[in-house]
Amino acid sequence: MGHKRLKEWLGDRDDWNVENWHQVNVPSLKPEDKEIFLNRKKAIDYYINSERTLSEIQNETGIEKAALYRLLKRCLYKDMYNENFGYRGLIPHLKIKEYERKDLPVGLHANATGAFTLFLDRYPEIKKMIDDKFFGKTKNVLMDRHIAIKNLHNQMVQACKKAGIKGNEYPFTSKDSAKRSLERYLKKLADFHFSSGASRYGEEARTAAVNTGMNHKNNHSLRPFQRVQLDGHRIDVLMTLKYLTPDGREVVDKIDRLWVLAIIDEDTRVILGYHVCIKKEYNADDVIYCLQNAVKPKEPVTFSISGLTYNETAGFPTWKSHGCEWVLWEEILLDNAKSHLSQKVTDCLHDNIRCSINLGPVSQPQRRPHIEQFFRILEENGFHRLPNTTGSNPKDPKRKNPEKFAMKYEINEKELTELVEVWLANYNGTPKSALYGLTPLEALQQRVEQGVILRKLPYEKRNDTAFFVIITERRVRGDIKKGRRPHIFFQGAYYRSDKLGSSGAFIGKTLTLHVNTEDIRTLRAFLPNGAELGILEVTGHWRYQKHSLVLRKKIMGMIKSKLIQCSDSDDVLAAYEKHLINKAMDSKSTRTELANLKRNQEIEPEFPPPVTEVEDKTRVEPEIQAEPIKPMIKKTFIL
């Protein structure tokens, strides 16, 4: 077929368009191969892009008709990705397809090139058995989910005997019964099916192969607050708690380690906010605290540790001097931790932050690289330098009797929390190579000055309870005949107010209650028509100390189970604290609960003042540009 007729036969096929062909880096070829390649390329280009005859092409390049068609066939041959070899097919000595053998070798130690491929083609059931066993796809088998090649070869030999292959036939005629051929085949199989091949090296390798490196799964955000990453990290240090036993002795003992939750902006690498908690596992409320701390205004902390100060360039975007308080983000990346999957967290993100949620693949931290890298820096340059560090593992040389040093220096939660504060603030003021020498705060400042529009939380949600409010209903109780004033009964306690108790008309009405789950000493009540009735205050012993809805439920359950004995006149929270102290000597988890209780008492021991009236909800804040971040002096700080 002449080349004109051949081009007409191919028509407009993409295979014929050399602009889509894979190219070759000519300078990397050997000098002798370079000359051959360029001559072949000239011949192919003449044939496709000009009207030269085959004779003219041969006279100019020396390539005959049969050789030209052979070269063209190599260019149009499909590779393993079903793409044309293109100009790659013109590289001298390049093997573009496997050797195809016609017959299996006969006789002992005969030349067996290509024999194993032909053997698998002849016996597809053996090939399927090998593939399934190698990738662990065999059903109802508990052992050898990641079978060793030696064992797989033995099973292949048994399958060959079962298939009727005799001892004088391949693969038994080879020196090792095709064991090395099997190894080469499995190596190619694993390389081509990368995800399945990686699964042989563990679940972590499999999930990394499945979820990263393909289809632009880790596209970087292009502006601040476009996408943020949130995660929690259990820090590698031991802490202590000092308390008095029932017999009056002062005791210092270990408690559970701290969790640090943080939110980082992908574009600027700035830490927006964080939360510290003392628990065996953090929960949904801790996640919401972290979300709230990343949005609401924050002030610099006055440290109790002597000599501990912020770096000159340190800070958080939510400091009022930086102008990014109440700013919301568009998308948040989370892992599949139970606390992240909580309905409370989902509702908070949808109702308050108004962002999309990207949970990502299970057990795949590579999809959240910035927050993972930040925690590594925090550990390596922060907590691992403390004398009470546990190191990253039991064999870490940084781990040098952390129990001894934790007890010796009585390192407590308050001190570690202050260290977290200053380290995170200083991190935001440390130049980063990924930001071309800018600090995260300077990078954020530049973006804002370039005109980025920042979306802010509406005014009506800017109060300390907005992130923790749940809405429920209760019927007003009371009896005018018995002189019992109207009241609400909620979670084992009575709630009253002068306004509610002033009129018997409220009795029997159903009130809508806005409950701050982190401090249920007060409830905000609304009438059936939507009008606000006001603040209801808890009565009795519950009013004297801040406590959450979870804590009250727990204490009520302990009272019902008679684990705590107290009368109506007793301080039930004091009884609960006494119960924890009695068990603290024998239980680290109990000491951790005791530390949490004391922490809340230190934060807000007094009864809260009445909540101010609801702000005007008709006021709508426009989407405005935040005030530029004030210029800061550059100062290197190695965290």
User: Which CATH number is 353's domain given?
Assistant: 3.30.420.10
Number of C-beta neighbours around residue 109 at 10 A: 9
Is residue 370 within 8 Å of residue 269, measured between CB atoms? yes
- Please give the residue that has the higher pLDDT: either 109 or 350: 350
Same domain, yes or no, for 250 and 233? yes
Query: From CA 460, how far away is CA 457, in angstroms rounded?
Result: 8
Same domain, yes or no, for 457 and 472? no
Examine residue 385 and state whether it is found in any structural domain, yes or no.
yes
Cis amide prior to 92 (ω within 30 degrees): no
Examine residue 105 and state whether it is found in any structural domain, yes or no.
no
Alpha helical stretches, state H, 215-301: 284-293
Same domain, yes or no, for 436 and 483? no
Look at the chain and report how many structural domains it folds into: 4
Alpha helical stretches, state H, 259-384: 284-293, 338-341, 343-348, 369-381
Same domain, yes or no, for 582 and 503? yes
- Pick the closest to residue 18 from 50, 57, 61 (CA basis): 50
Say whether pLDDT at 333 is over 80.
yes
Same domain, yes or no, for 429 and 542? no
Of 55-64, 245-254, 626-635, which has the strongest mean pLDDT? 55-64
Same domain, yes or no, for 81 and 201? no
Same domain, yes or no, for 533 and 580? yes
Q: What are phi and psi of 338, to 5 degrees?
A: -60, -40
Examine residue 109 and state whether it is found in any structural domain, yes or no.
no
Say whether pLDDT at 243 is over 70.
no
Examine residue 635 and state whether it is found in any structural domain, yes or no.
no
Examine residue 221 and state whether it is found in any structural domain, yes or no.
no
Residue range(s) defining the domain that contains residue 362 = 227-461
Measure the CA angle with vertex 414, ends 413 and 419; round to 5°: 95
Domain finish residue from 461, 496, 514: 461
Taking only the tens place, the pLDDT of each residue in 497-543 is: 999 999 989 999 999 999 998 889 999 999 998 899 999 999 988 88
Instruction: Please enumerate in sequence order all residues whose Cβ is within 8 A of that of 169, keeping only pairs 6 or more positions apart, or say none.
Output: 104
Same domain, yes or no, for 322 and 446? yes
pTM as predicted: 0.63
Is residue 429 within 8 Å of residue 313, measured between CB atoms? yes
Strand partners, 496: 537
Examine residue 434 and state whether it is found in any structural domain, yes or no.
yes
Same domain, yes or no, for 264 and 404? yes
Same domain, yes or no, for 450 and 537? no
Examine residue 555 and state whether it is found in any structural domain, yes or no.
yes
Examine residue 220 and state whether it is found in any structural domain, yes or no.
no
Query: From CA 75, how far away is CA 96, in angstroms rounded?
Result: 10
Say whether pLDDT at 614 is over 80.
no
Q: How does residue 244 score in pLDDT terms, banded at 50, 70 and 90?
A: low
Same domain, yes or no, for 471 and 596? yes
Q: Which pLDDT score is estimated for 510?
A: 94
User: Number of helices and strands (H, E) in the chain?
Assistant: 21, 14
Q: Mean pLDDT for the chain?
A: 79
Mean pLDDT of 135-163: 78
Say whether pLDDT at 631 is over 70.
no
Same domain, yes or no, for 367 and 329? yes
